[in-house]
Amino acid sequence: MSGGIAVVRRLTAACGKARLFRLRRCWKVSVVALLVCSAGPIVLFAAAQDGPSAVPQARPAQETPTIEQINFEGNRRIQRLVLQARIFSRVGDPYNPAALDRDYHALWNTGYFDDVYLTVEDSTDKPNAKIVTFHVLERPTIRRIEYKGNKSVSESDILDRFKEAKLALTQDSQFDATKIKKAEVLLKELLGEHGRQFATVRATYQKIAATNAVILTFNIEEGAKVQVGKITFTGNHAFSSRRLIRTMKKSRPIALDAKFFVIDLMSKTFDKEKLDEDMEVGIRGFYQDNGYFEVLVDIQDPPGLQTVDVYHRGLVKGPIPVINSTHGKVTNIPIKIVEGDQFRMG
């Protein structure tokens, strides 16, 4: 630093005062040059001490694994092409766990399988490649459907009810617990319409050896038959209860109707749909035919429809139901009527 100042002084004495301004500028430049020259060796020395590792090197980006193979194991009846069409991943796609999870749910939601899981393995042939395998357990096939204990309804009636409800439960269809449960409900409703409201239906199945098929059996216990009990009316002023019962063709008892009295011979089986028809077409239609166009007919609630146990004491023991003592169930029907005004012509 002192050597540089001495050089400037000698230059100033040689050039005179006329060139002093320019020399001042040269002095500033010289000082900067000296500082750079003196700092240069220090920087080079530090770089030499740190070595090549001090300079950051760019690391190569890691390649994303790809799917080399997609396999399916456990499928017997369902073809591979059908399963391949259900998933979204394809050979050559980047390996993505989220995409495989979506494929898993797509297979499970088909309803073809009782179990689905997948495994992922590294490829032995290609580096950075994956082999994906979907393991499935197919639901068994229904080889035969049997109905045991059905006396009030025929197998044809049952199949018609399934068809009306669009329930695809037939031979060679897949075993589906949800459909079978729905079939039990439909069977109970059908039996209830035939007077067996207390029937029980239980489905069981038996596996067929050496196959993935089962025999499905619906075990039916019909229970006591429910018959129509007492039919009572409230709010009927224009017509007697006896006259209104005669309009209920599907629910009224089979009776000997004399001029001044009625002898009931046999009660009919209680059927809610038939009762609704009798109330609408029979009773309400009868009132409207007689000018009561605003009449209201409904089940009185409370008490509502009541099913109770009954005991009929017979005269003697024997095979004739009329004189035997029997137990059973009946449904009493209380009907409420609001007649309204009567309209007349003219």
Instruction: Encode the chain (346 residues) as per-residue pLDDT tens digits.
Output: 455 445 445 544 444 444 434 434 444 444 444 444 444 444 333 443 444 444 455 555 568 899 999 999 999 889 999 999 999 999 999 999 999 999 999 999 998 999 999 999 999 989 899 999 999 999 999 999 999 999 989 999 999 999 999 999 998 888 999 999 999 999 999 998 888 888 999 999 999 998 889 999 999 999 888 888 899 999 999 999 989 999 998 888 776 665 555 555 667 888 888 899 999 999 999 999 999 999 999 999 888 888 888 876 554 444 555 555 556 788 899 999 999 999 987 6
Q: Which fold has domain 66-138?
A: Ubiquitin-like (UB roll) (3.10.20)
Fold match, 66-138 / 226-338: yes
Residue 325 is encoded by which pair of tokens? 């003592």
Domain range list for the chain: 2-42, 66-138, 141-221, 226-338
- With CA atoms as reference, report the closest residue to 218 among 276, 253, 179: 179
Residue 305 is encoded by which pair of tokens? 């429809």
88 phi/psi in degrees, rounded to 5: -105, -25
What pLDDT shows up at residue 210? 86
Query: By the 8 A CB rule, do 95 and 44 touch?
Result: no
Interatomic CA distance for residues 103 and 67, integer angstroms: 14
Pick the CATH number of 226-338 from 3.20.20.70, 3.10.20.310, 1.25.40.420, 3.20.20.80: 3.10.20.310
Amino acid at 143: R
What pLDDT shows up at residue 324? 52
Interatomic CA distance for residues 74 and 36, integer angstroms: 78
81: CB partners within 8 A, 6+ apart: none
113 phi/psi in degrees, rounded to 5: -125, 150
- With CA atoms as reference, report the closest residue to 78 among 87, 88, 68: 87
Interatomic CA distance for residues 108 and 102, integer angstroms: 10
Superfamily, domain 141-221: membrane protein fhac (3.10.20.310)
